[in-house]
Amino acid sequence: MSFAPSTAAADRAESFVSYSAAAAPIGFERAAFERAAARVTATRGEISVELELRHSGRRALTLRYETQGDASLPALFVAGGISAHKHLAPSREFGEQGWWECQVGAGRSLDPTRYHLVSFDWLGADGSLDIALDPADQADAIAALLDALSIGRLQAFVGYSYGAMVGLQFASRHPARVGEVISISGTHRAHPYAAAWRALQRRAVALGALQCDESQGLALARELAVLSYRTPEEFAERFGAAQVIDGRVRVAAEDYLDHCGNKYVARTSPTAFLRLSESIDLQQVDPSSIRAPVTVVAVTEDRLIPLSESYDLIERLRGETRLRVLRSIYGHDACLKEQAQIDTILREALADCTSVAA
């Protein structure tokens, strides 16, 4: 295992890895990818469970999941941000686009011909749970799902953003059930600055509701969120100066932000957004309780997860750790945009985990 503890400033500096846009491409054109996807088998289902939720007591819940790849292969649980869902990538049975198909598919880092990929819809994602939801609740729900699927242990938990937070919770609460955690742009606690940003987003939804237009409030909340996901550098490259149109000053980025807001409203309920946004702010896990190896992936320009938080996480973890630091104008969204760099990190981490398991 090539994980290395990183506890001192010198160690931190040596653990930096910089990737450039010239990194090796993933290598699948769209047509080839679709042909490969047509050979991948997938299943969907739902199970009913009862769980003791941290802030909301015992509840009857429905867990909706999807798997890709043969169940006899090493199992990986894959989870994204609060807007992500159970469908990772196209397959023979479910051909629609997935939220992370840049990394999931035959020949890619998360290859369903090599791994049994498991994912689910977050508790509360359908808007039916108007209660406080903790990331620990999501971790316990995943454990219940694995029980139902007869998966005793994951080879790895691959999480991005909120999914990374839940992955750390899972490793803390169910240590015997995971061999490794890959935590991308997510840490052990919610930073107060990021939490304040999300609180303002939730107030936008509340103001919309007061005006009997909750969808407009949700759209505005999403637009504010997009500003936190991306960076000033990206906006400077993409957008020009403001213009006067029909006597009103219109900023160049407004059309893009409006598109993001309207697209989000079309697929997300206000209740789901509010409760999952709150859930991020409830993240609190003691890194010293995590014994599994952890790969921490941080982005220098990420304004929601400051680099100092990733340093604090790796210094407090008790298992073997690896830190990978990217530079990207996409900030928090680098995981979705820097495809080659993330591919390289995932392959390296999973290869280490596979060699130890063997």
The catalytically annotated residue of 161, 172, 183, 328 is 161
For residue 332, indicate whether it is catalytic: yes
* Residue 117, Ramachandran bin (φ over 0: left; ψ between -120 and 50: alpha; else beta): beta
> Cα(14)–Cα(19) distance, rounded to whole angstroms?
14
End-to-end CA distance of the chain: 11
> Cα(124)–Cα(135) distance, rounded to whole angstroms?
11
DSSP state, 154? Answer: B
Cβ atoms of 87 and 118 closer than 8 Å: no
The catalytically annotated residue of 134, 302, 333, 343 is 302
Query: Which residue intervals of 211-326 are DSSP H helices?
Result: 214-229, 232-238, 254-267, 270-281, 307-316
> Cα(332)–Cα(327) distance, rounded to whole angstroms?
11
The catalytically annotated residue of 215, 310, 332, 352 is 332
Cβ atoms of 346 and 110 closer than 8 Å: yes
Q: Quickly list DSSP for 201-239.
A: HHHHHHHHHHTT-HHHHHHHHHHHHHHHHS-HHHHHHH-
DSSP state, 287? Answer: G
> Cα(247)–Cα(153) distance, rounded to whole angstroms?
62
> Cα(118)–Cα(71) distance, rounded to whole angstroms?
10
Q: Which of 339, 82, 51 is closest to 202 using CA atoms? A: 82
For residue 161, indicate whether it is catalytic: yes
What is the three-class DSSP state of 16? coil
Query: Token pair 């649980």 is at which residue?
Result: 77
- Active-site amino acid positions: 161, 302, 332
